[in-house]
Amino acid sequence: MSNKITKITKTEAEWRAQLTPMQYHVAREKGTERAFSGEYWDSKDPGTYRCIGCGEPLFKSTEKFDSGCGWPSFTAPLDAQGITEIIDRSHAMIRTEVVCSNCGIHLGHVFPDGPAPTGLRYCINSASIDLEKQSEQS
Ligand SMILES: [Zn+2]
């Protein structure tokens, strides 16, 4: 997988100042918000989901689907270059972690049980993304 150096590096103190405690826990400590607790798991608003760490557009509402898992789920990233996938062997499981390619924050995991055509489910924490609603764009 990609070993490229992330473009944005911040100290943990800078991250703590920028993010809410929940965002920091998810984004920097690879935490997971409780299912059905996040801001976007049930959102159907059209728009672009941007990285909470750097503002990079990562996912679009058109790829969002109702997975029933309690987290925002997408069948594909907006741009495959925008995310980096890392093998995660924590919690006695082998999963594929998804991080922002630009700033390196933890976004969630990708699972091979999504709908066609990709067959993928990007299971992303609401705390790691920020929806820019389409109607607010000028
Ligand atoms: Zn980022």
Q: What is the pLDDT of residue 1?
A: 46
10, 40 Cβ separation under 8 angstroms? no
Is residue 105's pLDDT more than 50?
A: yes
Q: Does domain 12-133 have CATH number 2.170.150.20?
A: yes
CB atoms closer than 10 angstroms to residue 116: 6
Q: What is the C-alpha separation between 12 and 105, in angstroms, rounded?
A: 12
Q: What is the pLDDT of residue 5?
A: 58
Is residue 2's pLDDT more than 60?
A: no
Report the chain's mean pLDDT, rounded to a whole number: 93
Q: How many A from CA of 55 to the centre of ligand 1?
A: 6
60, 112 Cβ separation under 8 angstroms? no
Residue from 26, 41, 106, 33 nearest 71 by CA: 41
116, 38 Cβ separation under 8 angstroms? no
Q: How many A from CA of 124 to the centre of ligand 1?
A: 13
Question: Which of 135 and 103 is assigned the larger pLDDT?
Answer: 103
Q: What is the pLDDT of residue 6?
A: 61
Per DSSP, the three-state class of 71 is coil
Per DSSP, the three-state class of 99 is strand
pTM for the predicted model, two decimal places: 0.91
Q: How many A from CA of 100 to the centre of ligand 1?
A: 5
Mean pLDDT of 88-112: 96
89, 113 Cβ separation under 8 angstroms? no
Active-site hit among 54, 100, 103, 123 = 123
Q: What is the pLDDT of residue 66?
A: 95
Task: Classify residue 10 as left (phi > 0), alpha (psi -120 to 50) or beta.
Answer: beta
> Would residue 54 show up in a list of annotated catalytic residues for this protein?
no
pLDDT for 60-90, tens place per residue?
Answer: 999 999 999 999 999 999 999 999 999 999 9
Q: How many A from CA of 3 to the centre of ligand 1?
A: 16
pLDDT for 10-54, tens place per residue?
Answer: 999 999 999 999 999 999 999 999 999 999 999 999 999 999 999
What is the H or E stretch that residue 100 is in?
Answer: strand 95-100
72, 49 Cβ separation under 8 angstroms? yes
Q: What is the pLDDT of residue 7?
A: 79
Q: How many A from CA of 91 to the centre of ligand 1?
A: 25
